[in-house]
Amino acid sequence: MKYELLYGKSAFCLPGGAVDYIAKASQNDLRVLMAMGSGKFADEKAIAAYLGISAAAVAGSLEFWRGTGILELQEEKPSAFEQTEISIPKEFFTLPKKQAAKAPETERDSYTSEEINRICKEKPSVPLLIDACQSILEKTFTKTEISSLVYLSDHLRLEDEYIMMLCTHCKSKEKASVRYVEKVALTLYDEGVVSVKELDKYIKKESQKHEMEYKIRKLFGIGERSLAPKEKAFIAKWTTEWNLPFEIIEKAFEIMVAAIERPTLAYENGILEKWREAGCKTIEDVEGLIASQKKAPKKQEARETSFDLDEFFELAVKRGAGRADGAEE
C-alpha cells in the first residue's frame, strides 16, 4: 500500500540528515525535533510545557540533536545598550579591592524518580545496565548514582557496553565510584571518544601508560610515592608525546648511572632529548649512534698521532741534514 502526506494549507520541513538518526532517537527526541521544526516555540520551557515533559528532558533531546549536527546553538547577540561602553571615573572606586568569588559550578539537572521509572519502562535494557554496573563496582547505588547512569545512557546516548567497560576500567584503577565514572565519561565525550571501539583503544593506551610508569618507577626506585609535577611531566613526555620504547629509557638510565652518582629524571631527559634530535626511534638506532660516537675519538687520536710522527721525522731529517753540512747541533 502507498501512503501520501496531506499538507493542507500549511507544512514545515526538517533537516534531511535527521533521518539517519531516527533509529537511535528516543520518542521524546522525535517529538522535540518536530516541535522545533514547527517554528512555534522559542525556548526549552515552551516546548516542555507543550509536550508535557520536563525542561531537563527537552534539553537532553536538544543536546542529542546538536551532537548529530542537526541543530546548532545560537549565541544571543548583545543589545545596543549592552554594546555601549560607559567610562566611569576611577574616583568612584573608593572601596578596597576584594578577591573575586568563584562562580558556582553549574550542575546538570538530576532525573526525578518518575523520569527514571519512565525511561526504564521505555528502555528495558536500562534496569539491566544498572544491575550490571552495581555488580562491577560491587556496591548498591543510591538514587543519585542511578540518575548518573541514566544520564550517561539517556542523555549522552552511550551504549550499555560502553558504560560497563568504563565501569570496569575505573574499578581496575581502584576508582569504584559512579561519580568518577561519570566524570571520565564526560571528559571522553568532549574528546569525541563515544563508541565502544574508541573506548577500547583509549583503555589499551591508558593500560600501556600505566605499565610504562610502573617500569620507570621501578627503574628509578621511586616506589609508590606520589610523583612531583616535573616528574609527571617527564614521564608523560617519554611515554605519550615521544612514545619511546622502554628499552631506550633503560639504556639512557645505564649511561646516566655510569656518569653520575645520583640519577635524576631531568638528567635522563637530557640524554633522551639528544637521541631524539639525532633521529633515534629504536634501541638499534641508539646503539648505532653510540657506536659511531665511540669511533670518532679514535679517528681524531689517530690523526693527532700521525701528525706528531710526521713532525718527528721532519725534525730528524733536518738534524741529519745539518750534520752532513758540518753544522753544529
Mean pLDDT, the chain, whole residue set:
79
Q: Which residue has the higher pLDDT, 329 or 153?
A: 153
Which pLDDT does position 116 carry in this prediction? 93
Cα separation of 56 and 45, whole Å? 9
Q: Which residues contact 64 (CB under 8 A, 6 or more apart)?
A: 25, 29, 155, 157
Backbone angles phi, psi at 54, to 5 degrees: -75, 155
Contact 17, 65 (CB under 8 A): no
Beta-carbon-side half-sphere exposure of residue 316 (alpha carbons within 13 Å): 6
Q: What percent of the chain has pLDDT over 90?
A: 39
Grid cell listed for 138:
560491587
pLDDT-based confidence at 167, cuts 50/70/90? very high
CA distances for 88 relative to 95, 163, 182, 195, angstroms: 15, 54, 46, 53
All structural domains of the chain with their residue ranges? 16-68, 113-194, 209-281, 296-329
Residue partners of 166: CB distance under 8 A and separation at least 6? 181, 184, 185, 188, 199
Mean pLDDT of 44-60: 81
Alpha helices in the chain (DSSP H): 27-38, 44-51, 55-68, 80-83, 113-122, 125-137, 143-150, 160-172, 178-190, 196-220, 229-236, 246-259, 265-277, 283-324
The string over 233-258, giving b where at least 16 C-beta atoms fall within 10 Å of a residue's C-beta and e elsewhere, is ebbebbbeeeebeeebbebbbeebee
Are 249 and 272 within 8 A, CB to CB? yes
Triad 178, 103, 65: Cα angle to 5°: 55
Q: What is the pLDDT of residue 85?
A: 47
The mean pLDDT value for 141-159 works out to 93
- At 239 the pLDDT is 87
Residue 107 grid coordinates: 550542575
**In the prediction, which pLDDT does 198 show?**
95
pLDDT value at 82 more than 70: no
Q: What is the predicted pLDDT for the residue at 19?
A: 82
Is 60 exceeded by the pLDDT of residue 94? no
Q: What is the pLDDT of residues 21-35, one digit of tens each?
A: 787 778 888 888 888
**Across 106-124, average pLDDT:** 83
User: For residue 67, what pLDDT band results from cuts at 50, 70 and 90?
Assistant: confident
Confidence tier at 159 by pLDDT (50, 70, 90): very high
How much of the chain exceeds pLDDT 70, in percent? 77
Query: What's residue 318's pLDDT?
Result: 52
Average pLDDT score over residue span 221-246: 88
**Average pLDDT, stretch 232-236?**
90
What's the chain's length in residues?
Answer: 329
Q: What's the pLDDT band for 109 if we cut at 50, 70, 90? A: low
Residue 78 above 80 pLDDT? Answer: no
Q: Does 164 or 318 have the greater pLDDT score?
A: 164
C-alpha count within 13 angstroms, C-beta hemisphere, residue 141? 23
pLDDT of residue 274: 93
How crowded is residue 194: how many other Cβ atoms within 10 Å of its Cβ? 18
pLDDT at 289 over 60: yes
The helix (H) or strand (E) run that includes residue 21 is none
Are the C-beta atoms of residues 219 and 233 closer than 8 Å to each other? no
The region of weakest confidence among 4-13, 248-257, 268-277, 298-307 is 298-307
What average pLDDT does this structure show over 181-192? 94
**pLDDT class for 100, splitting at 50, 70, 90?**
very low
